[in-house]
Amino acid sequence: MRRVIFNQKGGVGKSTITCNLAAISAVDGKRTLVIDLDIQGNATQYLLGAKVAQADKTIAHFFKDTLSLGIFGGGNSGLEGVIHETPFPNLFIIPSHPELEPLQARLESRYKIFKLKEALEKLTGFDAIYMDTPPILNFYSQSALIAADKCLIPFDCDAFSREALYTLMQALKEVKADHNSSLEIEGIIVNQYQKQMNLPRQLVETLIAEGHPVLESKISPSVKIRESHSVAQPLVHYVPYHKLTDEFRALYAEIHQ
């Protein structure tokens, strides 16, 4: 199963949700791969920590190889050579790299938008794949949406997020219609949810009333998230018995029903 975590609005917890769901998947016994397509590299830092410096091959190398494939072949456009082990059993990552930014225009002009999908269809040995994306509908997020089976949408509870969600849902419909007819919106993940406050509760109720696929499991705000970032340990390893970890476990269980 290939999942993409995407929202065009920044700061909604994409990387945190990606890495924590992937970590729980790995603990669940599934050989799991994270692909970091965001130039900021937050997922890469979260899962590799100090070992980031050792990640000599990245997703940028894969995309550069697709550009080198000429009429006589050349270039190895597979993903196997850019996969790295993380410190956590069963959990692997393809790291991001700043070189993604200057590569983008060349990839777009050469119409390489389907290369990630093609490579993932050839990749074997993984039970679950999670793709983290930049907070914009650009070449890399579109590549992930085209390659994915399902899309999870993080949503933080404010009015700006609600307006951005409407734009996002339309963009996803267009990607589905034009490039990936099998793409499913698996659900909206409500993040930073404070049920005792009126505004978050009202926003969620409105989304449900409008027929949006809001998942029942919600993620609360907690300082433990920042702590887990700083020590480069997903919650299931950092604080396995914390309430927030249980919320992520509940989310993982809900999408695997």
Which CATH number is 169's domain given? 3.40.50.300
Domain hosting 71: range is 2-255
Run of H or E including 155: strand 150-156
Q: 102 vs 11, which has greater pLDDT? A: 102
Q: What is the mean pLDDT of residues 89-96?
A: 98
Please enumerate in sequence order all residues whose Cβ is within 8 A of that of 121, keeping only pairs 6 or more positions apart, or say none.
Answer: none
**pLDDT level of residue 69 (50, 70, 90 thresholds):** low
pLDDT digits (tens, 9 = 90+) for 187-232: 999 998 887 788 888 889 999 999 999 999 999 999 999 999 999 9
Question: pTM for this one?
Answer: 0.95
pLDDT of residue 160: 74
Both tokens of residue 160? Answer: 């700006």
- pLDDT over 60 at 141, yes or no: yes
Q: What percent of the chain has a predicted confidence (pLDDT) above 70?
A: 96
What is the distance between the alpha carbons of residues 55 and 31, in angstroms, rounded to a whole number? 20
Q: What is the mean pLDDT of residues 175-198?
A: 92
- pLDDT over 80 at 34, yes or no: yes
Q: What is the mean pLDDT of residues 224-242?
A: 97
- pLDDT over 80 at 72, yes or no: no
What is the distance between the alpha carbons of residues 151 and 121, in angstroms, rounded to a whole number? 17
pLDDT digits (tens, 9 = 90+) for 99-124: 999 999 999 999 999 999 999 999 99
| Long-range pairs for 99-105: beta carbons < 8 A, 24 or more residues apart | 99/58, 99/60, 99/64, 100/37, 100/39, 100/59, 100/60, 100/63, 100/140, 101/39, 103/60, 103/63, 103/64, 103/67, 104/138, 104/139, 104/140
User: Which amino acid type is present at position 201?
Assistant: R
pLDDT of residue 73: 47
Please enumerate in sequence order all residues whose Cβ is within 8 A of that of 143, keeping only pairs 6 or more positions apart, or say none.
Answer: 37, 113, 114, 115, 116, 117
The mean predicted confidence, pLDDT, of the chain is 93
Q: What is the mean pLDDT of residues 51-70?
A: 86
**pLDDT level of residue 70 (50, 70, 90 thresholds):** low
What's the number of domains the chain is made of? 1
**pLDDT level of residue 76 (50, 70, 90 thresholds):** low
- pLDDT over 80 at 183, yes or no: yes
- pLDDT over 60 at 56, yes or no: yes
pLDDT of residue 71: 45
Listed residue (93, 90, 89, 91) closest to 79, CA to CA: 93
